[in-house]
Structure 1
Amino acid sequence: MKISLFLRFALAVAALSVLALPVPSHAVVQKGQAAPPIKVVSTSGQPITLNNYKGYVLVIDFFATWCPPCREAIPHLMTLNRKYAKQGLQILGLSLDEGDEQGVRDFITSKRINYPIALASQDIQADYGLRSLPTVYVVSKKGVVAEKFQGGSEETLRTMESLIKKLLAEP
């Protein structure tokens, strides 16, 4: 299904306006800091916390099903998951589609997403200081934020993969 240029623009404006709300300055996570706690239940019913990912490199993808750049980045994340999962990479999708868990489940099925997805609470969004979509945090095996990526350009995706390889090689 093709999305008209106007609809894409309207969705992008909506995404930016929702995320342009003020975020407390103490909540903005910086590179080198411990990743804020996460406590969610996946769309398949699995409880998930940050402790589930100790010893793994974790990619946290904040996205929305209605966000065109988010939708475009998901196939790349699925490829990363297939390519590096056996080496210790884990991916967690956190959807900002509030109150639409069935819609998110349908989206997961239609895209055949191969990693867990949960709905991101307002608290998690604030803790991670979300300002735009997509936003991806890469967390080291020690639970420290290694980098934050915004947007889904090819360059961003290449840089992210390079960082993941480096982190996977660390003890």
Structure 2
Amino acid sequence: MNKERFSFKNIPGWAIMLAVFGLLYATGLHTEVLGQAQRLLLATGLKNADVHVVATSTPATLASSAVPMAGPGFQMKDLDGKKVSFESLRGKVIFLNIWATWCPPCIAEMPNIQSLYEKVGSDKIAFVMLSVDQKSSEKVKKFITKKGFTFPVYMPASQLPEEFSSPAIPTTYIISPEGQIVAQQNGMAEYDTPEVRDFLQKLAK
């Protein structure tokens, strides 16, 4: 009687993929791997942040708008537990990014946000990387430290305002010095571009 010899070639491709994803999920590496894959998509330039629609607006025009300030009464806390009022940032351009450690697209875009943060370097521009992780800030702090990110990271200390509610994360808002949302990007994007840097710096003047 002939005995069939075992060979990996006989294993269906779907079974191998299932096993690989199962291993990644079990080890917690699936988020990181998917994030790296999506980072390659960002590198193509196909997902650049779109700010040209509102780039023609001037601070004077925005100030005269009837739209109220975004996030009134909203409280945040930094990774050391210190509370910060969102309203305390009024007068600055705010780059608000809502993200989570379990979100692959969030992880994919973070390096380019870090690069943007380093390049615009202005005390008139505030970065608010708002983590919506449900667990303690220790997990978020560990993640940020491991990645070497230096942009300011916060967690909600009160209910997230309705104007910052989005069906997807990451979501990014650019808020004028007058406190009005002037750009919104749902989903991941490449932010370290001349267009975004120029937009932020013009708003900050």
TM-score normalised according to structure 1 size: 0.71
| Residue 34 (structure 1) aligned with residue 38 (structure 2) | no
Counterpart residue type for residue 63 of structure 1: W
In structure 2, the residue matched to 1:118 is 154
Offset at 1:127? 4.5
> Gapped runs of 5+ residues in structure 1?
10-31
Decide whether the 8 Å contact of 2:101 with 2:107 is kept in 1: yes
Decide whether the 8 Å contact of 2:116 with 2:192 is kept in 1: no
Offset at 1:128? 1.4
Distance 1:8 1:86, change over 3 A: closer
Q: 1:2-53 CA distances to partner (integer Å, 9 max, x unpaired)? A: 9559x849xxxxxxxxxxxxxxxxxxxxxx5521232011112322112321
Distance 1:4 1:63, change over 3 A: closer
| Residue 152 (structure 1) aligned with residue 179 (structure 2) | no
| Residue 80 (structure 1) aligned with residue 116 (structure 2) | yes
Rounded to whole Å, the distance in 2 between the matches of 1:165 and 1:100 is 34
Counterpart residue type for residue 36 of structure 1: G
Query: Structure 1 stretches (4+) deviating beyond 6 angstroms?
Result: none
Decide whether the 8 Å contact of 1:81 with 1:90 is kept in 2: no
Superposed counterparts of 1:4-15, under 5 Å: 8=34
| Residue 136 (structure 1) aligned with residue 185 (structure 2) | no
Offset at 1:112? 1.9
Rounded to whole Å, the distance in 2 between the matches of 1:161 and 1:64 is 24
Decide whether the 8 Å contact of 2:78 with 2:84 is kept in 1: yes
Offset at 1:71? 0.8
In structure 2, the residue matched to 1:70 is 106
Greater radius of gyration (CA): 2
RMSD of the TM alignment (CA)?
A: 2.8
| Residue 105 (structure 1) aligned with residue 141 (structure 2) | yes
Counterpart residue type for residue 88 of structure 2: N
Distance 1:109 1:66, change over 3 A: same
Counterpart residue type for residue 114 of structure 1: T
SS of residue paired to 1:123? coil
Rounded to whole Å, the distance in 2 between the matches of 1:81 and 1:68 is 20
Name the count of aligned residue pairs.
145
SS of residue paired to 2:76? strand
Rounded to whole Å, the distance in 2 between the matches of 1:85 and 1:121 is 26
SS of residue paired to 1:124? coil
Rounded to whole Å, the distance in 1 between the matches of 2:76 and 2:121 is 21
SS of residue paired to 1:102? helix
Rounded to whole Å, the distance in 1 between the matches of 2:135 and 2:152 is 18
